[in-house]
Amino acid sequence: MNLRTMVHRFQRLEWLVAGLILLYLVPLWLFQYLPTQDGPSHLNNAQILSQYYNPSFNYQKIYELWLYPFPNWLAHAPLAALMGFVPPLIAEKILLSIYVIVFPLAFIYFLSALDPAKKSLGLFSFVFIYNHLLIKGFYSFAFSIPLAFLCLGYYWKHRNGFNFWQLLIITGLLLLVYFGHMVTYLIVIGSIAFIAVMVFLSQWRNLHGAALRRALATMELSLVSVMPTLLLLVNYYSNSSFDGVKLNINLSHTPQLLNDFFSMNVLVSFSKYQGWTTQAVAWVMAVIFLITLVLRLSQFRSKPVHFFKFGDGFFCLFLILFVLYLLMPDAFGSGNYLKERLILLGFLFLLAWCEVSLPILPDRAATDTPVYSNNPSLGIAFLNEERMAGLQSKSKRIYPVILELMCVLAVLLMLAGVYNSFETVEPVLQEYVAGQTVIRPNTVLLPLNFLNVYKYYNRVNPLLHADHYLTMTNGTIDLGNYEPFDDYFPVRYKTGLNLPIYGNHMSWPDMLHYHDHSIKLCNYTHMIDYLLVFGDPDLYFKNDILRCYTPLYIQGTERIYVPKR
């Protein structure tokens, strides 16, 4: 097949998807730094992972590798591999470009498995790409979302029975989802169990003999596909910081949670402008949902016995996630943002349930005798057959185009908000990173950030771990590195280091974050080579800095000091 033939075979939807993917890649490559909160930390630790055995760096003296099968490898492993060929910032752009490309394609594949007519709804999935959790820097979780829908779509296609190779593919996809995030993985295996039971119950009256054995074998194979990753999860959980933690249900925040849900706050990261664009997107989502609701109610009036369809199972899954969103705590063990993770996936299940047909409303003036449509997707209409056929034809032609137009407008609005946010933060990051030229390789840096950026950037602090931009390429040890303190990252500090990383009444990362006054900067002059200060320190820290450190670099609100020795 030549290029011209391929171009001619492209339909309107394919052209729209390709064009929107290109547009959504622009922010990744137009700006030098991506304004994520935890992203710089992930890059730095992936660089440590990639260059751990490089004798030019001192990583082996400070860190030890934690190569345990925990569910957070999906970003670190590819980043470390890419850094063997390209610089860290380019590796990040390549990884997130793959994410931007795969996200809508995986969701469209999922919709196509449910009902090929629903593929146009996949356009709306673009609005979820630059969600708040991605901008927080939760790269592994973000990648787990398209993989989850790829897995569910593949399982749905083969829900009535699959062979050995299809079983291996499902198991492999589940393994990738597991290494993305534990929450996504649990939702996927819960969804698979729900689908398997739903399919079995829908057929059990007609199952006898060989048919019954095949149905039971399919359920057994579904369980077999889940077992390897389920064993990994049980093993990780029993040895992690989550073990023994109790769930505390709190309903006091329900009004705020409902407000966040209806405003789709999970898509807001930075400015008020982005909040306004998200409000418009929420209205588009509401219109699509309401049209579907009216359509389904009209179908219930037509044929109440056959009202429930297989696809409605995903609406049930949305309801389950919505209830969990209201009931579950936002943090569990060392994991956090649990509610947003649940509702982000919930929104996508809700979108998958929506229809692409318009309801034909009753017209009792035409005739007193109801004429039932043969097409259950159009429900009941008091119309003569000729007029019914005409309305059906117009609905099938016009509404998908209107739907695609609404989705594209919502997607472009979201992109405008993202672009505005990236453009606003870029000069601040440029200023922050400008001092990296004075930092020598294989030294030790202690960062202290006193600038309250939340009053500027709403829900994300792009400077919280931006100090890693200064250290990730020259082997400098960044004492602001929080990842070695958690059991779901691949790097740990060695014990007995002559470094100020051992907290007393709270952890070292918390001491830095909250500017705890038990930090004695004058005691660290023999342990560190540079002190990075961004913003205006309080009087306690200012006195220690003046007594024990000499300014080396001053630019705007950033200062880099060296110890007085």
Q: Is residue 42 part of a domain?
A: no
Q: Is residue 543 part of a domain?
A: yes
For residue 161, how far is the Cα from the chain centroid? Answer: 31
Q: Are 123 and 410 in contact (CB under 8 A)?
A: no
Total domain count for the chain?
Answer: 2
If pLDDT is split at 50, 70 and 90, which confidence band does 167 have?
Answer: confident
pLDDT exceeds 70 at position 186: yes
pLDDT of res. 373? 45
pLDDT of res. 154? 93
Q: Is residue 540 part of a domain?
A: yes
pLDDT exceeds 90 at position 39: yes
Same-domain status, 160 and 26: yes
Alpha-carbon gap, residue 280 to 104, rounded angstroms: 20
Q: Is residue 396 part of a domain?
A: no
Average pLDDT, the chain: 85
Alpha-carbon gap, residue 435 to 151, rounded angstroms: 45
- The percentage of the chain sitting over the pLDDT mark of 90, rounded to a whole number, equals 55
Q: Is residue 558 part of a domain?
A: yes
pLDDT exceeds 60 at position 521: yes
- The SS3 assignment for 490 reads coil
Average pLDDT estimate for 233-251 = 70
The DSSP element (H or E) to which 401 belongs, if any, is helix 385-433
Of 35 and 208, the structure prediction assigns the larger pLDDT to 35
pLDDT of res. 382? 45
Residue that terminates a domain, selected from 353, 382, 417 = 353
pLDDT exceeds 60 at position 5: no
Q: What long-range pairs does 91-99 form, CB within 8 A, spacing at least 24?
A: 91/43, 91/46, 92/34, 92/39, 92/43, 93/28, 93/29, 93/34, 95/139, 96/28, 96/34, 96/139, 97/25, 97/28, 97/29, 99/129, 99/134, 99/139, 99/142, 99/143, 99/146
Same-domain status, 444 and 342: no
- The percentage of the chain sitting over the pLDDT mark of 70, rounded to a whole number, equals 82
Average pLDDT estimate for 70-76 = 92
For helices 312-327 and 254-262, angle between their N-to-C axes, nearest 10 degrees: 140
Same-domain status, 343 and 492: no
Same-domain status, 453 and 343: no
What are 335's strand-pairing partners?
332
Closest among 269, 258, 148, 170 to 222, alpha carbons compared:
170
Same-domain status, 444 and 323: no
pLDDT exceeds 80 at position 326: yes
If pLDDT is split at 50, 70 and 90, which confidence band does 204 have?
Answer: low
Same-domain status, 331 and 471: no
Average pLDDT estimate for 189-214 = 73
pLDDT of res. 220? 73
Same-domain status, 273 and 154: yes
The DSSP element (H or E) to which 63 belongs, if any, is strand 63-65
Average pLDDT estimate for 14-26 = 95
Same-domain status, 344 and 445: no
Average pLDDT estimate for 535-552 = 94
Same-domain status, 319 and 448: no
Of 466 and 252, the structure prediction assigns the larger pLDDT to 466
Range of the domain at 348: 3-30+68-353
Average pLDDT estimate for 260-282 = 88
pLDDT exceeds 60 at position 151: yes
Residue that terminates a domain, selected from 315, 333, 353 = 353
Average pLDDT estimate for 102-107 = 97
Q: How many CA atoms does the CB half-sphere of 515 hold within 13 Å?
A: 16
Q: Is residue 411 part of a domain?
A: no
Same-domain status, 336 and 199: yes
Average pLDDT estimate for 35-63 = 94
The model's pLDDT over 427-474, given as tens digits with 9 standing for 90+, comes to: 989 988 989 999 999 999 999 998 876 556 778 889 999 999 999 989
Same-domain status, 207 and 333: yes
**DSSP code, position 514:** T
pTM: 0.89
pLDDT of res. 205? 61
Q: Is residue 237 part of a domain?
A: yes
pLDDT of res. 366? 43
pLDDT exceeds 80 at position 79: yes
pLDDT of res. 367? 42
Alpha-carbon gap, residue 158 to 190, rounded angstroms: 17
**Pairing state between β 530-534 and 549-555:** unpaired
Average pLDDT estimate for 521-546 = 94
Same-domain status, 340 and 480: no
Q: Is residue 377 part of a domain?
A: no
pLDDT of res. 379? 44
Residue that terminates a domain, selected from 327, 353, 379 = 353
Average pLDDT estimate for 390-415 = 80
Average pLDDT estimate for 218-226 = 76
Alpha-carbon gap, residue 17 to 408, rounded angstroms: 9
Average pLDDT estimate for 146-172 = 89
